[in-house]
Amino acid sequence: MSMFTGLNDHTTTGTLGIAVIAGVGGTITFQNFQTDVTDGLQAYLTINGDMAKRTIDLGPLPQNSGTFNITFPDGTDMSLFNTLIVEAAETPIGKARIA
């Protein structure tokens, strides 16, 4: 599990866990997630948090607080990605290292 930290003067907290399921993809678990932004949250897998490099768009987050899961597609090489970025209106508001 890794911890979320806020970006760009936003408060984002909680923990992140990854489960890879062969032949299916996998699940990213947000636990005790909380952010000060309420709408339009989007998640991305990134390399060192750099949105200009190769990213995978994981889609919108289903909520802005609590515990929930999102999936990533089969064939995603998780060894290439080490940071999950949460954005709102194209502004990074939080990040967590992928362990």
Mind listing the pLDDT tens digit for each residue in 73-86? 888 888 899 999 99
Instruction: Please state the three-class secondary structure of the chain as a single string.
Output: CEEEEECCCCCEEEEEEEEEECCCEEEEEEEEEEECCCCCEEEEEEECCECCCCCEEEEECCCCEEEEEEEEECCCCHHHCCEEEEEECCEEEEEEECC
30: containing domain: 2-97
Digit-coded pLDDT (tens) for 60-73: 999 999 999 999 88
* Closest CA relative to residue 55, chosen from 95, 99, 8: 95
CATH number of the domain residue 56 falls in: 2.60.40
Question: How many folded domains does the chain comprise?
Answer: 1
pLDDT in tens, 4-46: 999 999 999 999 998 887 666 789 999 999 999 999 999 999 9
